[in-house]
Amino acid sequence: MVITFSRLHNDMLLAEVSDNEEGGLGFHHIISTFDQSIRYVFFFGPNGTIQRCYLQLANYN
């Protein structure tokens, strides 16, 4: 499993979880051809706690 995160920007954070079935090292091998992953978007409140979270299933063909 590989988890990638964006930088926190405007109280929003993006995360993507991939199974990386083809393996390999380096950024270009994190998401494999015909891979599936789950994307999460987190929205934070002023006190740093998560206020909302959305998810999306992504299929790479």
pLDDT of residue 29: 53
**Contact in structure between 23 and 5 (CB atoms under 8 Å):** no
* Predicted TM-score of the model (pTM): 0.73
- Spatial distance between the Cα atoms of 52 and 26, rounded to a whole number of angstroms: 31
User: Residue 31 corresponds to which tokens in the numbers above?
Assistant: 């998401």
Span 1-29, mean pLDDT? 78
> What pLDDT shows up at residue 20?
65
Q: How many residues are there in the chain?
A: 61
- The answer for residues whose C-beta is within 8 angstroms of residue 11's C-beta and 6 or more apart is 43, 44, 45, 46
Say if residue 34's pLDDT is above 70.
Answer: no
Q: 27 and 4 in contact (C-beta within 8 Å)?
A: no
Query: Could you give phi then psi for residue 29, rounded to 5 degrees?
Result: -100, 5
